[in-house]
Amino acid sequence: MHKCGSLLVATLLLVASLTACESSNTTSTNTTSPGGNSTPASNSGTGQSRLDIVKQRGKLICGVDGKIPGFSFVNESGEYSGLDVDVCKAVAAAVLGDPNAVEFRNLDSTERFEALKAGEVDMLSRNTTWTISRDSSVGLEFAPTTFYDGQGMMVRQDSGITKLEDFQGKAVCVEAGTTTELNLTDAMRQRGIQFETVTFQQADPAYAAYAEGRCQGMTSDKSQLVARRSTLPNPNEHLLLDVTMSKEPLGPLTVNNDSTWFDVVKWTTFALFEAEELGVKQDNVDQLKTSDNPNIKRFLGTEGDLGKGMGLSNDFAANAIKAVGNYGEVYERNLGEGSQFKLPRGQNALWTNGGLMYSPPFR
């Protein structure tokens, strides 16, 4: 028995030392990941950038919501469309030269960050509000805002509710894990209103409960409310209150500590704004490559080495624009006059038109 015990201890020591070696070694040995096609290999511990992984895989995996018309929505034939989707396509075109080399993953608000951090998706483009805590303590990196939104409140037309004060003793449906939930609580606390929050982990049952009348109000980003209203049984019976409870800058994001990949997503997004400012469009991008304007030439990669510095081809911006058009075109198609929502540009106009869309110089 004694012998057996010492044998056991010896084995344990051996195992402990082996595993200790193992965990210190993996960082240096495991740099070559198999160039599999669709396996989302995590870059944890390899020091490899997401950019290399995406290039090896030949496909971008993009996390979207998938249920918000105008931003990301799957139709009956399984095709994705919307502003968020176009950003994914632009990145795929910039990196791989093919806007269709994207695999979309539908993620709800409670699983999105973990999916991104675990390397299940390469980037998120799904109505995510840029906040300091997400940027710092949650460990995310926010690319430029593609849609400036604000939180609103939807009520039934016949409910007689016209302002937040009318919610005394009433119930509001909200999706959990969103900044919306916190903003709503803050806004009501400021006004000293006693109300109820009915918190759903997913958007679908939340809107369903609102539609059934469990809640007198439904709160979310205004753009989402407008989009979702179109899917309710009688869209005309619902209206948005004239309140804005918060600012909600929505944009794509990547995981922390991978600045190579972050730069790619960031500058592809900026390229959409810059293209609109320079007048580069989906249908004139090829002929503008021979333009005399040095700004346009640099932007489209016929002059200089702007793409190489990021590990992309020099014409990455041209590829992105050719795939989805500039920001103005993307907006018009998905949310503006070309869509069912007819949302005015407002603060989402270019800075030159009094809006907030601004790209740092491409030089």
> Where do contacts with another protein occur on this chain (CB under 8 A)?
4, 7-8, 11-12, 15-16, 18-19, 22-23, 26-27, 42, 44-45, 109-110, 113-114, 117, 133-134, 137-139, 168-169, 171, 173, 176-178, 181-182, 184-186, 188-189, 195-201, 205-206, 209, 212-214, 255-257
C-alpha dist (Å) from residue 307 to 39, 282, 300, 316, 343: 27, 19, 9, 6, 34
Closest approach, Cβ 219 to another protein, in A, equals 12
Using the minimum distance from each CB to another protein, give the nearer residue, 189 or 363: 189
At its nearest, how many Å lie between another protein and the CB of residue 120?
13
- CB closer to another protein, 101 vs 198: 198
Q: Which residues contact 93 (CB under 8 A, 6 or more apart)?
A: 99, 319, 320, 322, 323, 324
The residue behind tokens 């044998």 is: 7
Query: How far, in Å, CA of 318 to CA of 287, rounded?
Result: 11
Looking at beta carbons only, is 84 or 258 nearer to another protein?
258
Given the complex with another protein, which of 31 and 168 has the nearer CB atom?
168
**Residue 197 structure tokens:** 């929050």
- Nearer to another protein by Cβ, of 167 and 270: the residue is 167
Phi, psi for residue 302 in degrees, rounded to 5? -85, -10
Q: Report d(CA 295, CA 145) in Å as an integer.
A: 23
Shortest Å distance, C-beta 186 to another protein: 7
Packing angle of the helix pair 327-334, 259-278 (nearest 10 deg): 80
Whose Cβ is closer to another protein: residue 204's or residue 286's? 204
CB of 215 to another protein, least distance (A): 9
**Distance (Å, whole) CA 24 – CA 235:** 59
Shortest Å distance, C-beta 132 to another protein: 13
Q: Is 294:277 a contact under the CB 8 Å cutoff?
A: no
Closer of 109 and 151 to another protein (Cβ): 109
Residue whose tokens read 């511990």: 45
> ∠ at Cα 167 (164, 168), nearest 5°?
120
* Smallest distance, another protein to C-beta of residue 234, A: 17
Per DSSP, 163 falls in state S
Whichever of 200 and 341 has its CB closer to another protein, that residue is: 200
CA 138 to chain centre: 15
In the complex, least distance from residue 79 CB atom to another protein, rounded to whole angstroms: 28
Q: Rounded CA gap, 100 and 92, in Å?
A: 7
Least distance to another protein, CB of residue 282, Å? 37
List the beta bridge partners of residue 105: 63
Token code pair at residue 83: 């502003």
Secondary structure of residue 196 in the 3-state scheme: strand
CA distance 120 to 114: 8
